[in-house]
Amino acid sequence: MVPLLLVLLLALILFGAGFALKALWWIAIIVLVVWLLGFVFRAAEGGGRRRWYRW
């Protein structure tokens, strides 16, 4: 009974880690797209000394 519970616990932990990693990949892709859009819009403005972000 104990080995079965350990296997189920391991499966739950691995499933949770896989879901979190997949979510982090999607967040990273969204941030990259936003950054690229900001870069393109800045270049379209003439590329002055202003930054499109505050940090």
CA 48 to chain centre: 30
**Rounded-to-integer distance, Cα 51 and Cα 5, Å:** 54
What is the tens place of the pLDDT at every residue in 1-47? Answer: 888 888 888 888 888 888 888 888 899 999 999 888 887 877 666 65
pLDDT band at 49 (very low <50, low <70, confident <90, very high): low
**Beta strands, E only, the chain:** none
- Block residue for tokens 């379209």: 44
Indicate the domain borders of the chain: 1-42
For position 28, what pLDDT does the model report? Answer: 92
- Block residue for tokens 């616990």: 9
**Rounded-to-integer distance, Cα 34 and Cα 41, Å:** 11
**Beta strands, E only, 4-54:** none
